[in-house]
Amino acid sequence: MAPAPDEPEHDVRCALHVVADSEGELLCRIAERDLAAFEILYRRYARPVYGLALRRLRDRELAEDATRRAFAAIWRSAATYVPEGGSGAHWLFTVAQNAIVDHARAPSRTPLVASAGVPEVTSREPGPESVAEEGWLAFRVHAAVAELPEQERVPLELAYWEGRSRSEIAELLGLPLGTVTIRTRSALAHLAVRLEGLG
């Protein structure tokens, strides 16, 4: 069925291809400027994105600002997410990583000021139960990563825990860029199987 003339084609693609990808569904809703979807995505990924920024920038203030910039970029570019291109989580981390790298390279880092174009999400401190649950999840993820074969584990750790780019990893390990990409994707696929039903 073709979309009505006034309906964007992107909405139809999103509706057909995000059945199992809640992040993809949220990104499609964010593309339509759904603030509730943005808040859900923010609450789900603010800590991992902040962790990525902190590992890359090694400064809490800079990491906080880079995280705000990353979510501003996600808000602005959600309409570019194409479900056929991969998972919503992968797209989100790619956009976040790019925003963090751009922030790290910026000669003068001026704090991001909230604007009318980017929604404000208020921070809520987690309670003890939430902290305990997140600690358990983090432990399970680290344990699952430790079980990966070394050739998959090392590129994954360098990418996600040290914030290195694929080209940096390739240079560091003396591998072709394509090999790093394949090994990282394979590691993520194995992790998904090991961690299925965890969240």
pTM listed for this prediction: 0.49
Q: If DSSP codes are grouped into helix, strand and coil, which group holds residue 151? A: helix
**How does pLDDT run across 59-93, given as a tens digit for each residue?**
888 888 888 999 999 999 999 998 888 788 788 88
- Euclidean distance between the first and the last CA atom of the chain, given in angstroms as a whole number: 35
Residue 136 confidence class, pLDDT cut points 50, 70, 90: low
Provide the pLDDT confidence category of residue 4 given band limits of 50, 70 and 90: very low
Helix or strand (DSSP H, E) at 48: helix 35-57
pLDDT digits (tens, 9 = 90+) for 5-18: 444 444 444 443 33
71, 17, 13, 69: which is closest to 42 by C-alpha? 71
Non-local CB neighbours of 69 within 8 Å, separated by 6+ positions: 99, 100, 102, 103, 112
CB atoms within 10 A of CB 107: 4
Q: Using the 8-state DSSP alphabet, how is residue 199 labeled?
A: -
Which residues, including other chains, have CB under 8 Å from residue 104's CB and lie 6 or more apart?
56, 57, 66
Among 27-36, 87-96, 133-142, 169-178, the minimum mean pLDDT is found in 133-142
* pLDDT tens digit sequence for 81-129: 988 887 887 888 888 888 888 888 876 555 555 554 556 655 555 555 5
- Residue in this structure with the two tokens 């880092």, named with its chain if needed: 109
pLDDT confidence of residue 119:
62
